[in-house]
Amino acid sequence: MASLSKTSQWQALSAHRDEISAVHMRDLFDREPERFKNFSLELDGLLFDYSKNPVTGQTLSLLVDLARTAGLEGWRERMFAGEAINTTENRAALHPALRNRSGKPFTVAGKDVMSEINRELDNIRAFTVSVRSGIWKGANGQPICDIVNIGIGGSDLGPGMACQALAHYGKAGLDCHFVSNVDGAHLDGVLARLNPQTTLFIIASKTFTTHETMLNANSARDWIVTSLGEDAVEKHFVAVSTNREKVAEFGISASNIFGFWDWVGGRYSIWSAIGLSLATYIGMDKFEDFLAGAEAMDNHFIQAPLERNMPVMLGLIGIWNNNFLGASSLAILPYSQALARFPAYLQQLEMESNGKAVARDGTALDGHCVPTLFGEPGTNGQHAFMQAIHQAERLIPVDFIVVAEAHENVLTPHQHFQHQQVLVANAFAQSEALMRGKTAREVRSELEAQGLCGSELEKLLPHKVFPGNRPSNTILLERLEPRTLGMLIALYEHKTFVQGIIWGINSFDQWGVELGKHLAAEILPELSSDAASHNHNSSTNALIERFKAYHRDNSSHRT
């Protein structure tokens, strides 16, 4: 963005913003009876409505010009061609190959990778059939009832979110659990509910050296060995990793190692063997539906013109709100309890990908890029932070994600429909309220109708005025099922890519997480040392000493 912001296209957008800044979205809708039709896109049961943003046709035309100036189409071709667009690590970012069901070749460094991918999918299928059918048995001959995925970051957020979202498709009698936090309370709380004889652990770590993951894995191993003996490890652990030597040292059989490739970034890895827990939970056929949904979005992203391209429009709307309207955050509000973990998933996807301070060439960015993402399922968010989105001075755009048809389980169809009507009514009402607002004249009329007048009315009136003109997108899914979830995730993946290209950054590295890891490795031995710490700043040194003091007189319970 260092150079892009100096281009004529960027300057034209800045001038255009000034020209339309006084135009309220109410006026845009009044002027354009076909606004929804002109500012929405649909693909296979997924509707994207971006009409409730302060944009005109000219705005979008200028944004598309900006995307072309940034070379979006060329970078898109390079990604799908398997070129090393992750320049700081000299790697491809070819996650679309993982969901390629068409049989067309995908190459990395001139080599077609589809045979390897399909072979790994065959291995995953064999494993899922074995566990789901009861053929796979624990050390004492009992079938598996619980799967515990131990990972962190992309090895946890993706499969954990998807298993929750697709719980309706999960196999009865088979539950999935996810442990990521190195806080022992996380693992302890999961293990307390499980029977070691019927529990299978998936250790998901590319290097099999990630400290948090391996500490949790080794504690889980001790739990199994204590109950079932050393020989039980082979029956109760599998690994998703590229480090076969370390996995073997752990005691996992070579036949129970599922691999992936260095061109699969962690936050883009759910489509690989990192999705093993999801595939086992919902079955391989449904997992392939999930892949097919993502592939459908890939094909749309490749083929649709930029002006009618869903990920491009989602990305460009974000650029407009962020870089031209000054929004520094984005609320993700899924009006679906099944998607409760989707905001957390997108936090990693977008903020780890695009949370950068320098461009691809190493020069400093001259403006902010990725917004701060947060979210909560509706209607809970309405009773938490929506007040600030409606009336606070700072602009906070919103993505509403709504599911039209809910799955039924215990509640009757009629009860589900009642709940769904209230849920969806709230979602649509929030987006309209953000767009319309409520003028002082409307508030005055409303209060007068309630019998208020004089100073009492004037005192209350300013508190009930809503400025409106607050941007939001609405994504409406016909049903939340494997295919549509795959489409939804791929939509946001490509949106993230689009924005990274326009900002001129590498969306596929994450050096920002390394410094904390390095310092943690230095501090860890100091927490158990008798010597006073003098290696850090006064605050960190004091905190280390205070922690040691807390534990010095309470060590008898630890072994």
Question: What's phi and psi for 205, nearest 5 deg?
Answer: -155, 120
Which residues are marked as active site? Answer: 352, 383, 517
Q: Which range among 3-7, 273-277, 388-392 shows the weakest confidence by mean pLDDT?
A: 3-7
Alpha carbon of residue 20 to chain centroid: 33
What pLDDT, on the 0 to 100 scale, is given for residue 367? 78
Each residue of 388-439: pLDDT tens digit? 999 999 999 999 999 998 887 778 888 888 999 999 999 999 999 999 999 9
Whole-model pTM: value is 0.96
Question: What pLDDT sits at residue 557?
Answer: 54
3.20.20.10, 3.20.20.70, 3.40.50.10490, 3.30.465.10: CATH of 107-287: 3.40.50.10490
Distant-in-sequence contacts of 437-440, Cβ < 8 A, 24+ apart? 437/26, 437/465, 437/466, 437/467, 437/468, 437/469, 437/470, 438/464, 438/465, 438/466, 438/468, 439/465, 440/465
Average pLDDT over residues 189-201: 98
8-state DSSP, 154: H
> Do 470 and 389 form a contact (C-beta atoms < 8 A)?
yes
Peptide bond into 496 cis (omega under 30): no
DSSP-derived secondary structure for 323-349: IIT---EEEEEEE-GGGTTHHHHHIII
pLDDT tens, position by position, 297-343: 999 999 999 999 999 999 999 999 999 999 999 999 999 999 999 99
Domain residue ranges in the chain: 4-69+304-436+470-508, 107-287, 516-552
Residue pair 139/196 in contact by the 8 Å Cβ criterion: no
State the amino acid at position 8 in one-letter form.
Answer: S
- Segment 28-46 shows an average pLDDT of 97
Per-residue pLDDT reduced to its tens digit, 127-136 = 999 999 999 9
Secondary-structure percent of the chain, ordered helix, strand, coil, rounded to 5: 55, 10, 30
- pLDDT of 452-477, one tens digit each? 999 999 999 999 999 999 999 999 99
Report the top-level CATH class of 4-69+304-436+470-508. alpha beta
CATH topology of 4-69+304-436+470-508 equal to that of 107-287? yes
pLDDT tens per residue across span 150-167: 999 999 999 999 999 999
Rounded to 10 degrees, what is the CA torsion of 308, 317, 507, 327?
180
What the block records as the tokens of 442 is 């409307």
Average pLDDT over residues 1-26: 91
**Token couple for 417:** 């429909």
